[in-house]
């Protein structure tokens, strides 16, 4: 698996574990199990990653310039992240560290993507 695909896989794994931590504490689920609401949020988050306009150059959601979550889902994921974020370092230190590193790299990727998009638009407009 190349680095960009591995990063997307890690992002999905990170959000899944955050939702799982939240669900276990708030809805009493255990193991890999998620309640129907948390499973729907997980599936929604995965669909947003899959349909991201940045494709394999997708930044972490915190650093993204295009916020694609619906208002309701955005509030849900914020609640999950507020609860799970501080606990992730103790439960999943590797995932947490990699997520932080990915976030630091994102700003350069976003600028590169937007510059490429602008150049492409200029070419399409001229031609």
DSSP line for 64-94: -SS--S-HHHHHHHHHHHHHHHHHHHHH-HH
Per-residue pLDDT at 80: 98
Positions in the chain short of pLDDT 50: none
Per-residue pLDDT at 63: 79
Report the C-alpha gap between 39 and 61 in whole angstroms: 19
What is the per-residue pLDDT across 46-68, written as a single tens digit (0 to 9) for each? 999 999 988 888 888 877 888 89
């Amino acid at each position: 698996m190349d680095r960009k695909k591995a990063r997307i896989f890690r992002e999905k794994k990170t959000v899944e574990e955050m939702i799982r931590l939240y669900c276990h504490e708030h809805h009493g689920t255990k193991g890999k199990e998620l309640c129907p609401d948390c499973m729907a949020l997980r599936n929604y988050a995965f669909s947003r990653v899959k349909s991201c306009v940045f494709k394999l150059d997708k930044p972490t959601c915190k650093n993204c310039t295009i916020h694609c979550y619906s208002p309701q889902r955005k509030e849900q994921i914020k609640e999950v992240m507020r609860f799970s974020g501080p606990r992730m370092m103790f439960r999943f230190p590797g995932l947490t560290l990699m997520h932080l590193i990915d976030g630091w790299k994102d700003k350069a990727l976003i600028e590169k993507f937007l510059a490429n998009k602008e150049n492409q638009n200029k070419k399409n407009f001229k031609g």
